[in-house]
Structure 1
């Protein structure tokens, strides 16, 4: 007998299954037919002694055997029914799990989407007054937010190391072009190129620097023009730091801090670097010295903390 899956509907009770009822009916009917044939074709007389009961079992063992078949048949059918119910329960469980996972995903995406816009809105409130204090305007804080927090839509609201590395790479472009400050022969041409960098680079971060974007009144290669360019670099670095401060756990790189703190007016004039009224200097060396000071201060602080811990 071939047992079809639809004969074991897991949603139907066992004794309501058609195959169970047919099996009961068929075997009972056959047993009844066999019993009737034996009674009709045999010359039987009632005997209620033990011999009569023993003889009854012998005479009617075929119909009794047919009825006895109901036990293994029912067991097989019940096992198949339980198997179908188990499979159905597993299917429903998997379906519910997928549904729950889908709901969790939708909820998570909705929360991330909502948190993203809330984070972007708060960032805009943070950056606008800070940049105005510095003297730079943030033209589109939302675009700056996407640059600093590229994974914010996925719920990542911190400044990543790759983001800081990209900022340092842009600062390195400034340092490379700043070699023009150290050589009076190429200063005019080189500072003009650096000026163009400082006109375009802040735009990448959606900053508008009025100092650098206005028509330059000084000639390139002069102290006043150089000072103006350095001020533009200072303001750009300070604006980036102001944006990074929105992430309380973010720490600006030493290079970024050094460029924000470098002061053109502190440069010493010596016979070697001040000739024909023009001051030359190596911005990379000046920045390196500031970075080395940061590192020395950090090392001293670490040593001090270790000594305090050891004495406690």
Structure 2
């Protein structure tokens, strides 16, 4: 019952001893010592046997030297085989050492890259807050330790892409509200008004950017004013002002890494500019303006 396990254990021990450990010199390898020992013992033993059992005479002529290699061909072959085996062991050992060096170099490179990414992460974080402090929108951004990590979710991986301002559902809520606003401008009753309001409340007033980035709830608007027809105009101004401020702050954040800012972002910012409490300054708010805004939001956010 125990023989197989003992044989396996003995086999494993032999294989461990024969392993070409790259951390030691070739002359200290068991395989080198084994090949050298077997070769020398074989050559010396066969030479001794040939001398003892053969009637050999010393002959220092060329015939004697030639005859020497004929008589002792086997021991010489054993020595040649031993040297060949040692050469193969040395070659394999150098290969193992080279592989180990390559592996260690790769590890060092990876460790260096990780350290650089880690260092760049904190450097980028530091530079970002310096940038925010010089921004006209600095009061709209929370000075919280987790704010940067939210804005740059892959910063620790060396990727500095800014998180989108709106999720898909939040974008849908903004667009539906703008479409609703268009109908309100036309003085048309909207059958699913309450559904739109509930959807907006659920998606926008709980916006992650509101909670994690903006210093106050930009998107938390009193959508319920739709229930009061007399307040629709007031709501439109409040809604567009808040939306334009959110976009302005977001594009300002994007500008920290200018390569992320596209022309469409600048157009979006210019399009949704701050509304005015004076009606004469808001003559641009019409159906065409709002529909263009929807297209900008779909393309840029």
Normalising by structure 1, what TM-score? 0.63
Q: CA RMSD in A?
A: 4.5
* Residue in structure 2 matched with residue 24 of structure 1 by the alignment: 43
The answer to whether the 8 Å contact 1:244/1:250 transfers is yes
Q: 1 CA distance for matches of 2:199 and 2:270?
A: 21
Bigger Rg, which one:
1
Secondary structure at 2:102 match in 1 = helix
The answer to whether the 8 Å contact 1:116/1:152 transfers is yes
Q: 1 CA distance for matches of 2:159 and 2:206?
A: 29
Alignment of 1:1-312 (within 5 A): 10-11=26-27, 17-35=36-54, 37=55, 65-130=70-135, 132=137, 136-140=140-144, 142-143=146-147, 145-159=148-162, 170-182=170-182, 183=184, 184=187, 185-186=189-190, 194=200, 198-201=204-207, 202-203=209-210, 205-209=212-216, 221-252=231-262, 254=264, 257-258=267-268, 261-263=271-273, 264-265=275-276, 266-268=281-283, 281=287, 284-287=290-293
TM-aligned CA distance change 1:131 to 1:226, over 3 Å? same
How far residue 253 of structure 1 moved from its aligned partner, in angstroms, is 6.0
Would you say how many aligned residue pairs link Structure 1 and Structure 2?
Answer: 258
Structure 1: 5+ residue stretches without partners: 40-45, 270-278, 292-312
TM-aligned CA distance change 1:197 to 1:206, over 3 Å? same
Q: 2 CA distance for matches of 1:211 and 1:169?
A: 17
How far residue 267 of structure 1 moved from its aligned partner, in angstroms, is 3.4
The answer to whether the 8 Å contact 1:126/1:246 transfers is yes
* Residue in structure 1 matched with residue 9 of structure 2 by the alignment: none
Structure 2: 5+ residue stretches without partners: 1-14
How far residue 261 of structure 1 moved from its aligned partner, in angstroms, is 3.7
The answer to whether the 8 Å contact 1:174/1:194 transfers is yes
How far residue 123 of structure 1 moved from its aligned partner, in angstroms, is 1.5
